[in-house]
Amino acid sequence: MDSILVTGNGPLSGQIPIAGAKNACLTLMPATLLSKEPLTLTNAPRLSDIKTMTALLQSLGAEVSALQDGQVIAMSSHSLTSHVADYDIVRKMRASNLVLGPLLARFGQAVVSLPGGCAIGARPMDLHVEGLEALGAEIELKDGYLHAKAPGGLKGAVHEMRFASVGATENIVMAATLAKGTTVLKNAAREPEIVDLVECLRKMGAQISGEGSSTIEIQGVDRLHGATHQVVTDRIELGTYMLAPAICGGEVELLGGRMRLVESFAAKLDAAGVSVAETDKGLKVTRKNGRVSSVDVVTEPFPGFPTDLQAQMMALMCTAEGTSVLEERIFENRFMHAPELVRMGANIEVHGGTATVTGVERLKGAPVMATDLRASVSLILAGLAAEGETVVSRVYHLDRGYEHVVRKLEGVGAKIERIKGQ
């Protein structure tokens, strides 16, 4: 298993290109199942999760090709051969559950294994099931698989979600595009990845309004057609690399970054003493003074502070002046990076969903273990600012969500290398 060696190396400067969003691409790819005509995605990120989704779609009979070094994904679901999403693929990634809504809409039936993914919480599927049942689906859990059918086809309905789940919103919206009549989804998630999905579905002929607000209205149509769509910028990769100059000092421009994607995160950085300015090409980030100040963080659905940036923000708070309180409200087990940061000399106490971090002057390099995707990158960020060498093991988590992490950080002056097979 590969590991990453990081050596603390002072201020960073230069530019980092930000890729297309993993979490948008993982919902845009299953949208191909809704149409017999080709769907092409540009600006796709080169990630292992994308390979997993490719394998899943291919197992259903879709044709999927990665072109231009993986940045273009050409798909065709002209002749699907299966409506069964097998455990062996689905267990690798939570987002595999996003084939459920499209398969049900296209075939009137779907059998999808309960998904796997980062072990950051229980992550049940009840909100997906309730939404699809509201559209007329009958769903039961048998042998670890959700067996869904809609013999008379899906029918539009008014449905209010108990919580604004991102994945459930995506599944319900995709299913509703081909349902008979109008669906009104209340308390829908508002994440930019959902806006991106709706923009793509609209290019495919879907009639949808209200994306980005908490009420989405979908007028079902008989069929969807082909389209080409550019994947939105990855706001989590963007936020992660915004933290590199915040932690190490210097000035870095994140190419393709837009303020509207990271508004609440940038406001917290500003309060901590890090300036973020929009440029023609992206976002420029500089630390205003010497040491950053502590800020408190509460994770919330968009437009609140994203849970997917909580671990990375904790790495920044480890060397901030004062004490910060980070409250994780989305996932019940998302502080697994804390004990690893403590190995590096951080002062962190975790009680339930709250972590209290008292900043120290300097972290010290140590061997640490990546436990999930965002935890992995938080340890790399901490290593950039630490004295000496940090070795982050189990980096396969990182490969799920960060393309060319070594090349991108080296490009702004970081000392980082991938060590094969350790």
Ligand X SMILES: CC(=O)N[C@H]1[C@@H](OP(=O)(O)OP(=O)(O)OC[C@H]2O[C@@H](n3ccc(=O)[nH]c3=O)[C@H](O)[C@@H]2O)O[C@H](CO)[C@@H](O)[C@@H]1O
Q: Pick the closest to residue 34 from 206, 195, 217 (CA basis).
A: 206
Choosing from 25, 118, 200, 318, the catalytic residue is 118
**126 annotated to bind ligand:** yes
| Cα pseudo-dihedral 33, 37, 41, 45, rounded to 10 | 40
Partner in contact with 373, chosen from ligand PEP, ligand X, none, beta carbon below 5 to 8 Å by kind: ligand PEP
* Residue 115 found at the interface with ligand PEP (CB under 6 A): no
Query: From ligand X, ligand PEP, none, which one binds at residue 121 (CB under 5 to 8 Å depending on kind)?
Result: ligand X
Q: How far is the CB of 401 from ligand PEP (least distance, A)?
A: 5
396 binds ligand X (CB under 6 A): no
**Least Å distance between CB 62 and ligand PEP?**
20
The angle, 0 to 180 degrees and rounded to 10, between the axes of the packed helices 310-317 and 235-248 is 10
- Judged by DSSP in three states, 375 sits in helix
Judged by beta carbon, residue 4 or residue 12, the one nearer ligand PEP is 4
Taking each helix axis from N to C end, the angle separating 263-272 and 310-317, rounded to the nearest 10 degrees, works out to 10
Residue choice 308, 328, 340, 403 for contact with ligand PEP (CB under 6 A) = 308
The secondary structure of residue 239, as a DSSP letter, is: H
Among 113, 307, 310, 378, interactor with ligand X by CB under 6 A = 307
Ligand-binding annotation for 123, yes or no, is: yes
330 is in an annotated binding site: yes
124 annotated as belonging to a binding site for a ligand? yes
CA neighbours closer than 13 Å in the CB half-sphere of residue 4: 31
Instruction: Based on DSSP, count helices (H) and strands (E) in the chain, helices before strands.
Output: 14, 24
What contacts 347, CB < 8 A, 6 or more positions away? 318, 357, 358, 359, 360
The interface partner of residue 401, options being ligand PEP, ligand X, none and the CB cut-off 5 to 8 Å by kind, is ligand PEP
Residue 118 is among the residues annotated as catalytic for this protein: yes
Q: Which of 94, 159, 229, 397 binds ligand PEP (CB under 6 A)?
A: 94
Which stretch, 38-46, 53-61, 74-82, 162-170, contacts ligand X (CB under 6 A)? 162-170
Q: Name the binder of 127 from ligand PEP, ligand X, none, CB < 5-8 A by kind.
A: ligand X
Which range of residues in 8-16, 120-128, 134-142, 312-320 is near ligand X by CB under 6 A?
120-128
Encoded amino acid at 185, one letter: L
Q: Was 280 annotated as part of a binding site?
A: no
Identity of the residue, 234 or 340, whose beta carbon is nearer to ligand X in the bound complex: 234
22 is in an annotated binding site: yes
Q: Which does 374 bind (CB under 5 to 8 A by kind): ligand PEP, ligand X, none?
A: ligand PEP
CA–CA separation, 48 vs 396, rounded Å?
A: 9
Touching ligand X, residues 13-42 (CB under 6 A) = 23, 26
DSSP state of 386: S
Question: Residues 224-243 vs ligand PEP: string with x where CB under 6 A?
Answer: --------------------
Pick from 415, 12, 21: which is nearest to 239 by CA?
21
Q: Which one, of 5, 1, 3, 95, lies nearest residue 414 by Cα?
A: 5
99 near ligand PEP (CB under 6 A): no
CB contact set of 283 (below 8 Å; sequence gap of 6+): 238, 242, 253, 254, 257, 258, 259, 262, 266, 276, 277
Strand partners, 351: 354
Please report, as ranges, the residues that interact with ligand PEP according to CB under 6 A: 23, 93-95, 117-118, 120, 308, 373-374, 401
Please report, as ranges, the residues that interact with ligand X according to CB under 6 A: 23, 26, 94-95, 121-128, 163, 165-168, 307-308, 330-331
Active site residues: 118
